A and B are shown apart, each in its own frame.
Chain A
Amino acid sequence: MSLTAKDKKMVKAFWAKVAGKAEDIGCDALSRMLVVYPQTKTYFSHWKDLSPGSAPVRKHGGTIMGGIGLAVASIDDISAGLLALSELHAFQLRVDPANFKILSHNILVVLAVMFPNEFNPEAHVAMDKFLAAVGRALSEKYR
């Protein structure tokens, strides 16, 4: 299920529309994940405040969306573009890769909430495939 030329075009076009709200998207997606999938909180025991929209959540949401933006810019070779992030996740963060799917789902939910008209089925399938590709790139160095 690799990204077709059509997928890449759709992802770039859609990202151009939503990138301005990247921090809000990241903040909301992360907030939702921590509430709806409480097991994900285990990765953030070092934060003072895990409540939706808190300062650490907003900051980290922005960081994550920065990574997504990098992936969009590297869409023709996501593995190469995300090499440093892949090593970070493999050797230091060691986030169980199942969580990439969970966060991706929450990003899609936020896109639906914030952009109900633009996030049509064609945008949805392209973004779903793209986020899955990002998850694969991030898990590449795990073993």
Chain B
Amino acid sequence: MVQWTDFERATIQSVFEKMDYDDVGPAALSRCLVVYPWTQRYFGNFGNLYNAAAIQGNPMVAAHGKTVLHGLDRAVKNMDDIKATYAELSVLHSEKLHVDPDNFRLLADCLTIVVAARMGAAFTADVQGAFQKFLAVVVSSLGRQYH
């Protein structure tokens, strides 16, 4: 089981409490689609993804970005058993969505960059460490049920 320090728990709660989901979700997903363009393979029915401007203006990308970010809420509320919390979502991503689990890591990196940009100097090295540890656990749990 993952051991969390008091600082890490408090940091994760605080970062997500202060987060503007409607801003960060779309920003993270659209950044992922621009920086790692092969991730667009999962969004064939999202319409115009031809360039960065199109991606950032695409309403389906924005909506899905919010959905994905809210998907992290359960992990934030259940930090002591993220693996069990995401078992079903892991199966979904594997069996139904057929998403290569390396993509979770790519999106997590983009989310880190977006949160860093929003928080500025408040995103200290220690906060970065806690945030990346949290996302690493999420990424691992989402890939756990693949076979």
Contact = CB atoms under 8 A, between A and B. Distances in A.
Interface string A63-76: 00000000000000
B17 to A, nearest CB: 20
B125 A116 contact: no
Contacts of B31: 121, 124
Contacts of A112: 113-114, 116-117
Interface in B80-135: 109, 112-114, 116-121, 123, 125-126, 128-129, 132
A105 B114 CA distance: 13
Contacts of A122: 34, 52
Contacts of A32: 125, 128
A124 B113 CA distance: 9
A128 B35 contact: yes
A108 B113 contact: yes
A119 B117 CA distance: 9
A128 B110 CA distance: 11
Nearest to A31: B125
Given A109-B116, A113-B120, A122-B34, A36 B109 contact: no
Contacts of B112: 109
Interface residues of B, number: 23
Interface string B45-58: 00000001001100
Contact of B117 (A31, A36, A113): A113
Nearest to B33: A121
Interface string A107-137: 0110011001001111011001000000000
B141 interface: no
A52 interface: yes
A105 B117 CA distance: 14
A19 interface: no
Interface in A1-52: 31-32, 35-36, 52
Given A112-B117, A113-B116, A116-B118, A36 B34 contact: no
A121 B56 contact: yes
A121 B129 contact: no
A124 B125 CA distance: 20
A36 B129 CA distance: 5
Interface of A: 31-32, 35-36, 52, 105, 108-109, 112-113, 116, 119-122, 124-125, 128
Interface of B: 30-31, 34-35, 52, 55-56, 109, 112-114, 116-121, 123, 125-126, 128-129, 132
